[in-house]
Structure 1
Amino acid sequence: MAGLPRTRGGPAVCQAWGHSSLAQEQNLSVIQEEVRARYVDAQSVSTQISTEASRSERITWAYASRTACGIALGMLSYREVDSDRLWNCECYHARMRATMVR
C-alpha cells in the first residue's frame, strides 16, 4: 500500500464490532491523515475497471470503505473523534484490501 501510512493493527477481516486503534491516537492530525489515506485508497479502488468488473465483494467493501472514511473525515473536520466511525473506516478498508490479495 504505497503512499498509505503504516497500518495500526486490525485484522485483515475484522469482527462486526471492535475498538478503533486510531481513536487511541492523541494527535488529531495523525488521525485525519490516516483516515484520509484510507478514503483516497478506497476511492481509487472503487473506480478501477478491474474492481467494477470484479465478481468478488471488492466493490462492496470499496464503496463501504469510501463512505465510512468520508463520514469519519467529516466528523474529524469538526474535531469530533467518534470511535465507532473510525472503526468502520478501519474495518471496511481492511476488508477491501483483503479482497485484493485473493
Structure 2
Amino acid sequence: MFDHTQLAKMADLLVKIKCAFVLSINDTPEIREFFSAFAFDEASIKYSVASSGATDAHELIISTPPKRRPAVVRVGCRARRQLIQRLSGPVAV
C-alpha cells in the first residue's frame, strides 16, 4: 500500500502530466479523496493468492477526466518509467 505522502505525490503528478492515463487501485474513501480531480469507474474483482482462495475486492479505475483526454494517445515505456521514477526513485530497466 501507498502512504499518504506517496498518494499525494502521485495525484499531484497525474494532475500535471499532459497525456491520458489509467490507474487501478484499491477502492477506499482515502483513495477517492486523494484522486477526486479525476474520473472514476468501479470494478468488483476477486483476488486470489496461492491456496488461500479467492477474496472479493473492489478496485477503483481512475483515469484522465474527459475534458483533458487527447484524441490520440501515445505513451511509451519511457514516459511510464519517468513517472515511476518520480514516484519511487530509479527503476531498473
Q: Give the structure-1-normalised TM-score.
A: 0.27
Q: Give the structure-2-normalised TM-score.
A: 0.29
Q: Which has the higher helix share?
A: 1
